A = this chain, B = another copy of it.
Amino acid sequence: MLAIAGDSASGKSTVAAGLVNTLGPHRCLSISTDDYHRFDRLERSLNGMTPLHPDCNHLDILGQHLQLLATGQSVLKPVYDHASGRLLRPVVVDPADYIIVEGLLPLHTNLCRACFDLAVYLDPDDNVRRDWKTQRDCASRGYTPDQVLTELADRESDAQQFVLPQRAFADLVVRFAPIEQRNDPPDTPLSATLLLRPNIPQPDLTSVLRPEITATMHMGLANDHDGRPVDSLHVHGYVDPEESARAEKLLWRALTEDRLEMTDALGAIAGGHSTPLAVTQMMLLFHLLKATR
């Protein structure tokens, strides 16, 4: 059971989709914790709460359902409809080999955290996330750009207080961002930094990170939020796609030992491919495969 936590439009469902399509949809259950919203959009506008507040979600029921799914039982999952902002009739969901739970607060409670074998926190650069959120909410959730910016401002306090602290409970922290030191043109693909925390046994990448792929990715040391040193994997978005593709293949072989077929779903983003996203998904797949070995 994998948790993908992060603020609104941080890339959670994009990461999840690549995992599901690579593992095989029939072997996966993918859940959005947005379905566990306690209030619909109208009620939130009346009570002034944001969905980022724990009290605005049935987190106790989420924990109960994760526990039931983890022990092989089906649950009657609530349904939140993003298009209308309304809560609909619930649906039965059955457990699967891989259960992927993405949302704003999957790591907020002790009970939920205890259910996960693996947790990733997505922490993209603020400007990047603002762009992603504007694009998505205007295209598929019926918002105007101004409404999105107002909502982002309204949510800032709850995001800092409740969403961000979950970063501390993740095994991997992924930050998508342009590289500041370079003056790449604006349409350059994003890079990413992956913090690989020692909470869980991380893969040994020394053999795969050979000189011929260091242009695409290389290891470094970073300071974690508490000041402690932590391994970081830097993946560069600006590299020539063919060179990146070779590096991805080498990494895939090293991480999965070809126990799974490498698919186009890895790194798939709207209208293209992102090597940093593919690498993030491969690192998660390494741990998921290990958990079911």
Contacts and interface: CB of A to CB of B under 8 A. Distances in A.
Contact of A58 (B58, B73, B88, B92): B92
Interface string A59-103: 011001000100001111010000000111110100000000000
Contact of A76 (B40, B58, B86, B92): B58
A90 B78 contact: yes
A60 B73 CA distance: 10
Contacts of A58: 76, 92
Contacts of A61: 74-76, 92
A78 B74 contact: no
Interface residues of A, number: 17
Contacts of A64: 68, 73-75
A87 B91 CA distance: 11
A68 B68 CA distance: 11
Contacts of A74: 60-61, 64
A86 B90 CA distance: 12
Nearest to A76: B61
Contacts of A89: 40, 78, 86-90
Nearest to A79: B89
16 contacts: A40-B89, A58-B76, A58-B92, A60-B74, A61-B74, A61-B92, A64-B68, A64-B74, A64-B75, A76-B76, A76-B78, A78-B89, A78-B90, A86-B89, A89-B90, A90-B90
A75 B58 CA distance: 10
Contacts of A86: 89
A74 B68 CA distance: 14
A58 B89 CA distance: 13
Closest 4 CB pairs between A and B? A87-B89, A61-B76, A90-B90, A78-B90
Nearest to A88: B89
Given A40-B89, A61-B75, A64-B74, 5 more contacts: A60-B74, A61-B74, A64-B68, A76-B90, A90-B90
Nearest to A65: B76
Nearest to A38: B92
A236 B76 CA distance: 45
Contacts of A75: 61, 64
A61 B68 CA distance: 11
A61 B92 CA distance: 8
Contacts of A76: 58, 61, 76, 78, 90
Interface in A237-271: none
Contacts of A40: 89
Contacts of A87: 89
